[in-house]
């Protein structure tokens, strides 16, 4: 069960494995520079079509919500479209759409990002609009109230009416006892209802400055073109003193936890487990690459251990999956999810998964399994370079995690270098039951669990 659903998808299809010559050419083509006010800029040339993706990232997200005001970063993201000194409500989006572009934004725990995809000739417009929003917000009181109702309705539709989403946030709340990943990105309903326009303005004035942001422009541009435009539109914005991030860390996890949710909308029982573990920059960072491979080996498709054991051999499950969202500033999650076959109890599923994990910890993986997993993990990312936004997102998360841009092109070689011994060590450290939350999703009127099959 993943912490950020859009990030989980990204991490499941991250990074390109291509010829070394192409990787070297891409590394050489990417340009980076910093304006005098601290705004960092990354330029990713892609001359296939005369279009650009303009993506501004802020080093602020839901994990920075003040205590008692969960959902503020997300509310602020919505309010960025509600008016500034020069732009009335809706004028930002209208200006982009009239030029044939599209725009949107997303909030995660570690960052918030806003993007515009548009023809190359309108890149100055994109920068002008985004610089205006960075400068400051000036929403009408009625618009602020209306937008709060929008995010509250979003929570009702996406969380309250979704059993999986409800379970996911309860798992996070149990998995993280002290870290701000504990609360949902969208916020708890009762705290969202108390958010105000002044909260948004204070948040913006504290964090939305050029030296707390970076710009990524991907597409039919050169570094020189982007530098000139960035200096013109962003260069005059003043830097500010940005409060340091002060996130609480996790205490030792000494007991396994269980969460069970019954819901009227559930038709099929499901079983989940999430472990809090290291990421690329948190905890035992050396385990991150092996954990990406472990995820592929355990539940990454029909050749994975769990699929073969539970679906093909024992026939006690209809689907299995494993995931690892390792590109996080705080603790990451390693997760399993299983849908049982008809008539098979969740207790049987849990025992079968535990047996499979124990076998991996004892015997590891064969050379053939490791070769296949490495090939698949690199091949899954083959098409990332074709899109404008996908490249900008990948580079954005690398930048948020403090990783260099060439991490992208070094990814295939780094994956290839991971050994079976490193995967075994990472598995032993990550798959500790006291670090985990085991969860079940059940129909509201489910009868007592029925066991069937044998692991």
Residue 376 has a pLDDT of 85
Q: Where in the chain is the domain with CATH 3.30.830.10?
A: 5-233, 257-443
Mean pLDDT across the stretch 317-345? 97
The structure tokens 């491979």 sit at 293
| Count of other CB atoms within 10 angstroms of residue 337 | 21
Residue 2 has a pLDDT of 35
pLDDT band at 233 (very low <50, low <70, confident <90, very high): very high
* pLDDT of 64 strictly over 70: yes
pLDDT per position as a tens digit, 93-136: 999 999 999 999 999 999 999 999 999 999 999 999 999 999 99
Note whether 290 and 364 are within 8 A (CB). no
C-alpha distances in Å from residue 423, one per residue of 24, 217, 361, 419: 28, 36, 10, 6
Whole-structure pTM value: 0.91
Mean pLDDT across the stretch 307-311? 97
Q: Confirm whether 130 is a catalytic residue.
A: no
Residue 125 has a pLDDT of 98
pLDDT band at 19 (very low <50, low <70, confident <90, very high): very low
Residues near 94 by beta carbon (within 8 Å), at least 6 away in sequence: none
| Count of other CB atoms within 10 angstroms of residue 378 | 18
The strand ranges marked E within 190-256 are 213-219
Fold classification of 257-443 (topology level) = Cytochrome Bc1 Complex; Chain A, domain 1 (3.30.830)
* pLDDT of 455 strictly over 80: no
Residues near 117 by beta carbon (within 8 Å), at least 6 away in sequence: 51, 52, 53, 54, 101, 102, 103, 388, 389
Active-site residue among 31, 77, 103, 122?
A: 77
Please tell me the CATH superfamily of domain 5-233, with its number. Metalloenzyme, LuxS/M16 peptidase-like (3.30.830.10)
Mean pLDDT across the stretch 260-275? 95
* pLDDT of 188 strictly over 90: yes
């Amino acid at each position: 069960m993943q912490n950020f659903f859009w990030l989980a998808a990204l991490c499941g299809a991250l990074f390109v494995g291509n010829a070394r010559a192409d990787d070297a050419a891409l590394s050489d083509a990417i340009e980076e520079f910093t304006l005098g006010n601290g705004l960092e800029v990354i330029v990713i040339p892609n001359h296939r079509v005369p279009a650009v993706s303009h993506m501004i990232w802020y080093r602020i997200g839901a994990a920075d919500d003040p205590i008692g005001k969960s959902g503020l970063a997300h509310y602020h993201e919505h309010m960025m479209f509600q008016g500034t000194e020069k732009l009335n409500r809706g004028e930002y989006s209208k200006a982009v759409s009239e030029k044939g572009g599209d725009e949107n934004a997303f909030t995660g725990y570690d960052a918030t990002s806003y993007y515009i995809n548009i023809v190359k000739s309108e890149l100055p417009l994109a920068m002008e609009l985004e610089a205006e929003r960075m400068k400051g917000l000036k929403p009408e009181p009625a618009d602020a109230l209306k937008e709060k109702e929008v995010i509250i309705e979003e929570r009702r539709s996406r969380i309250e009416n979704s059993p999986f989403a409800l379970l996911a946030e309860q798992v996070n709340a149990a998995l993280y006892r002290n870290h701000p990943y504990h609360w949902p990105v969208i916020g708890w309903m009762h705290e969202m209802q108390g958010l105000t326009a002044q909260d948004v303005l204070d948040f913006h004035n504290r964090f939305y400055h050029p030296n707390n942001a970076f710009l990524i422009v991907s597409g039919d541009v050169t570094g020189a073109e982007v530098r000139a435009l960035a200096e013109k539109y962003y260069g005059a914005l003043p830097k500010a003193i940005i409060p340091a991030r002060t996130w609480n860390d996790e205490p030792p996890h000494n007991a396994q936890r269980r969460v069970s949710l019954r819901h009227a909308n559930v038709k099929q029982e499901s079983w989940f487990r999430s472990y809090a573990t290291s990421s690329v920059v948190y905890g035992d960072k050396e385990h991150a690459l092996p954990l990406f491979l472990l995820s592929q080996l355990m539940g990454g498709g029909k050749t994975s251990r769990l699929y073969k054991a539970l679906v093909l051999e024992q026939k006690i499950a209809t689907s299995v999956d494993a995931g690892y969202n390792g590109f996080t500033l705080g603790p990451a999650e390693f997760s399993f999810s299983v849908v049982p076959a008809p008539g098979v109890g969740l207790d049987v599923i849990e025992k079968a998964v535990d047996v499979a994990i124990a076998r991996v910890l004892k015997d590891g993986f064969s050379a053939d399994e490791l070769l296949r997993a490495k090939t698949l993990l690199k091949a899954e990312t083959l098409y990332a370079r074709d899109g404008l936004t996908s490249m900008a997102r990948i580079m954005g998360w690398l930048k948020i995690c403090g990783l260099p841009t060439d991490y992208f092109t070094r990814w295939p070689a780094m994956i290839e270098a991971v050994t079976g011994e490193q995967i075994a060590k990472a598995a032993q450290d990550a798959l500790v039951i006291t670090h985990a939350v085991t969860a079940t999703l059940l129909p509201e009127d489910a009868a007592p669990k029925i066991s069937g099959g044998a692991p």
